[in-house]
Amino acid sequence: MNKFKLWLEQTMMISFAILVGVIIEGAFFSLFGGNPLYEFNMDWLQMVSIVLTGAVCSLPTIIWLTDTDIPKNKFIVRMVLHCIGLYAIVSLFGWLFKWYTQLDGFVFMTVIYFAVYAFTWIVTLWFHKREDSQINKALDDIRDEE
């Protein structure tokens, strides 16, 4: 049940990250695409494709990144595999659902993907550091003297 809950949470998170990427891409091409008549629309199929991609992408996350009791080096290897795996899934689904049709669209999607991936990790690590600091401060008040 916990794995299922985690899968749903991950699906929502990754879908949201992809949605942000697609919106950035749409906004960029609307503003700088050279064609003032370019319209950025999202139909139901695109929404479904984003959720579907999120659902598939959450599987490697559950398989590779939920086991926290592993050495740091092994975790970093898994993280690299995870990053490449997700990139492959996003590229494949992007091609299938026509998020991009030409090379410039693919390059743009690649840049957005790695930016969002790095941003997600930076925010996560920052949250952990903040949490450590809060806990350490609270521990100072209750610690036994020895």
Partner 1 sequence: MQVRLEKVDNKEQEEAVIKAVEITDEISGAIELLEGDAKGFAVSKDGKTYILKASNVYYIESVDKKTFVYTKQGCYDTKYRLYELEVMLGGYFMRCSKSMIINLKKVRTVKSQISGRIDATLLNDEVVVISRGYVKEVKRRLGIG
Binding site residues, partner 1, CB under 8 A: 65, 67-70, 72, 75-76, 79, 125, 128-129, 131-132, 134-136, 138-139, 142-144, 146
Whole-number Cα distances in Å, 90 to 4, 58, 87, 100, 144: 22, 11, 5, 11, 51
CA dihedral 47, 51, 57, 61 (to 10 degrees): 140
Closest distance between partner 1 and the C-beta of residue 40, in Å?
A: 36
Which CB, 120 or 134, lies closer to partner 1? 134
Instruction: Report the sign of the C-alpha dihedral through residues 27, 43, 116, 133, in that order.
Output: positive
- Shortest spacing between CB 117 and partner 1, in angstroms: 15
- Minimum CB distance to partner 1 smaller for 74 or for 98: 74
Cβ nearer to partner 1, comparing 101 with 134:
134
Distance CA 2, CA 69 (A): 17
Angle at 111 between CA 114 and CA 72, to 5 degrees: 15
Nearer to partner 1, 39 or 144 (CB): 144
What's the min distance (Å) between Cβ of 145 and partner 1? 9
